[in-house]
Structure 1
Amino acid sequence: MDCGVITSKTVLLLLSLAFWAAAAGLSYVGAYVVNTYKNYDNFLQDKYALLPAAIIICIAVVMFIIGLIGCCSTFRESRVGLGLFFAIIMVIFVAEVSAFVLGFVYRERVKNDVQSTMHSVFEQYDGKNPESSVVNYLQEQLHCCGVKNYSDWTTTQWYNSTSNNSVPLSCCRQEMVKNCTGSLDQPQELNTQGCAELLESGLQSVISYAMLVILGFAIVKFFGMMSVCVLTCKREDSGYQPLYSGMFS
């Protein structure tokens, strides 16, 4: 058998196996992105920022079936099966390229999106409403306080209404949370870094990670399409019998 055919078959078999592994990996990445945005959706106006993650999850749903088609088609060297496999790979490749481009676009928009909404959410803080729970969760998880720094709280309605010269307890440093009162007279007990910068960095890192995974799989799909072309052309030109045809006949 031609060396190119053996190589192509090996690539396609490995690609088919990779589809099953990729289903789990892509599901994890998509769910992680969705969960991250869900935790901070109050700070994001553009809900289409979840579109790359939605595309990833949709792709993962059909991975196992595609892997099965790829294995059977490669072993039997079926023109119909290989053609179907090629078409599926092409569609996924286009979807992944689209997700990569969208991820790049929305990664650049995260900063403006966060900056434009965070001030309004912090302004609605009263310690009881849903926005207050989101703010407290954000400050506790990111170990931050205020939008740009802890002094931002002095301009909020909540701060002016309490008149106790303190910030929410969620601003307290983790190691000092038991004794912390949130008083601005004791800044050493507070997280002084603002939440906007940390949130922007975190969201951009998540998108960048998703984009890197998408790019890697897109490259694999490209080589897979090339292998299908090589296997199909060699089969038509040489007229040889499939090596594994007896196993699946």
Structure 2
Amino acid sequence: MDCGVITSKTVLLLLSLSFWAAAAGLSYVGGYVINTYKSYDNFLQDKYTLVPAVIILCVAVVMFFIGLIGCCATFRESRVGLGLFLAIILVIFIAEISAFVLGFVYREKVKSDVQGTMRSVFDKYDGKNPESTVVDYLQEQLHCCGVKNYSDWTTTTWFNVTRNNSVPLSCCRQDTKNCTGSLDQPQNLDTQGCAAEVESGLQSVISYAMLVILGFAIVKFFAMLSVCVLTCKREDTGYQPLYSGVFA
């Protein structure tokens, strides 16, 4: 058995183990969700909240069997098994490349989408409705005020109705005391707009996800090459694997 075959089998075995590791992680998450639901089932009547956990566990089972197919096919060097494993890897590889391209496209659209959505939510602010709670939470957590800056509040319906020349108290800087949100004291307010903070956070998450997807896609690419090496090596040299079985 030459170095190329050994390397190819090692890559495929590591990939199969990664599927098992992913299955174990997903099983833990699914079990955690189910246990959490049981702890609060007296307060929850909608059983559909368990659907995500069931889906996660089903995906874990699929990942386990994919890893099993990969291990068995690699050890036996089965043409049928390796072909099936190659098809599965190819489908996942195409999905990852598609996700990478969509992530790149969406990353460029984040700025316009975020500002448009945020303006509509800020316009609905009245200090009482659910949108108001979301806006106040966002401004307090991100230490921001308004969409681009605190002056955006002067164009909202809430500002015109209250007529007190002030912005919500959630715009107040955390290091100030007795802040009333008055625009006459801008030094007490957060000056950074919320759109920039949200855009930065979303773009960072998308960029990180794209790097992870690209890394997995590269691994899948080398795995497909490894399958081809094993298959072609067996056909060219007539090499018989140490293990023989149903898929040989």
Q: If the length of structure 2 is used for normalisation, what is the TM-score?
A: 0.79
Structure 2 unmatched ranges of 5 or more: 28-55
Distance in 1 (CA, whole Å) between partners of 2:188 and 2:83 is 65
Match of 1:146 in 2: 146
Deviations 1:169-218 (A, max 9, x none): 21122333x64322223323221100111111111111111111111111
Q: Provide the alpha-carbon RMSD of the alignment.
A: 2.6
Is contact 1:24-1:60 (8 Å) kept? no
How is 1:215-226 mapped onto 2 (pairs within 5 angstroms)? 215-226=214-225
Report SS of the residue matched to 2:121: helix
Q: Given the alignment of the two structures, is residue 17 of structure 1 paired with residue 17 of structure 2, yes or no?
A: yes
Q: Structure 1 residues 173 and 63, CA, compared in 2 at 3 Å: closer, same or farther?
A: farther
Match of 2:166, SS? coil
| Residues 9-158 of structure 1 mapped to structure 2, 5 A cutoff | 9-22=9-22, 61=60, 62-158=62-158
How far the C-alpha of 1:25 sits from its partner, in A, is: 7.9
Q: Report the CA distance shift for 1:175/1:60 in structure 2 as closer, same or farther (over 3 A).
A: farther
Structure 1's 116 and 60: CA in aligned 2 closer, same or farther, altered over 3 A? same
| 1:122 maps to amino acid | F
In structure 1, the partner of 2:45 is none
Q: What letter is aligned with 1:87?
A: A
CA-to-aligned-CA distance 1:111-165 (integer Å, 9 cap, x gap): 1112222222211100111211121122122111001111111221111222222
Contact 1:22 1:60 in 2 (8 A): no
Output the CA distance in 2 between the equivalents of 1:160 and 1:210: 42
Return closer, same or farther for 1:68/1:105 CA change in 2, 3 Å cut-off: same
Residue 245 of structure 1 deviates from its aligned partner by 4.6
Q: In structure 2, what residue type is equivalent to 1:240?
A: Y
Please tell me whether residue 210 in structure 1 is matched to residue 227 in structure 2. Answer: no
CA distance 1:180–1:23, change in 2 (3 Å): farther
Letter in 2 for 1:98: S
Give the Å deviation of 1:77: 1.3
TM-score relative to the length of structure 1: 0.79
For the residue of structure 2 that corresponds to 1:173, the secondary structure is coil
CA distance in 2, matches of 1:80, 1:209: 36
Q: Which runs of 5+ in 1 are unaligned?
A: 28-56
Q: Which stretch shifts more, 102-111 or 61-70? A: 61-70
SS of residue matched to 2:146:
coil
* Cα distance in 2 between the residues matched to 1:60 and 1:180: 51
How many residue pairs get matched?
217
Aligned residue runs from structure 1 range 149-228, under 5 A:
149-176=149-176, 179-228=178-227
Q: Secondary structure at the match of 1:175?
A: coil
Highest Rg: 1 or 2? 2
